[in-house]
Structures are given as C-alpha cells and as structure tokens.
Amino acid sequence: AYLRLIAYPNDYISLERIINEPPRGLGPASVRRIIEHARQNGLSIIDALCNASEIPRLTRPQKAASQELGTVLKAVSDVENISTHEIMAYVLEHTGY
C-alpha cells in the first residue's frame, strides 16, 4: 500500500491501509478529514499530509503524525531513478514500520 500511494498519490484506499501502520493515532475520522481537505483544495493525498497543519479538527499530535508521514512519502515520490528496493528501505527506515 505504501508503494501504491507513492505511485498513485490520490489512492484513498492505500491511505486508509497505511495511515495507522505503524500506529500514529490517526483513525477513520482523521482519514476522512485528510481526504476531504485534499479534495476541497485540489491536493494529492501526499500534499495534504505534508500540509496537515492546515487541516481543521485534527489535534496537534495528529497533524504532526500526518506531516511526518507525508514528508517520508514526498521524499521518495520526488526522486527519479530510484529502485523499488530503495523506496521500501527508505519508507521502512523512516516510518518505524
């Protein structure tokens, strides 16, 4: 699901699968708010996560966890010529999975 979200930054199903793996304190209501924010502002899910400080009704810890996940996903999605192995190694290392 991590790889799928990186490849398809608007894949809401993949977001639901990874958002709390490992646990980040982000439940279904948080996911709905992130998706709603992305749709209303014409953002990809990854960009919405990176800009979580702008999402209403998320707590500070939820915003921080969302931004941290978004930063990891953005870092690997912006790199050209990176192998799948390198992407997964980076994601695993930086998410604590």
pTM: 0.84
pLDDT tens-digit map of 27-77: 999 999 999 999 999 999 999 999 999 999 999 999 999 999 999 999 888
Q: Quote the crossing angle between the two packed helices 60-77 and 28-41, to the nearest 10°.
A: 60
Predicted local distance difference test score (pLDDT) of residue 7: 86
How many domains does the structure of the chain reveal? 1
Q: Which domain holds residue 84?
A: 2-95
Rg of the chain over all Cα atoms, to the nearest angstrom: 12
Report d(CA 37, CA 34) in Å as an integer.
5
Q: Please give the distance of CA 32 from its chain centroid, rounded to a whole number.
A: 13
Contact 51, 43 (CB under 8 A): yes
Give the residue among 44, 41, 71 at the shortest CA–CA distance from 54. 41
CATH code of 37's domain: 1.10.486.10
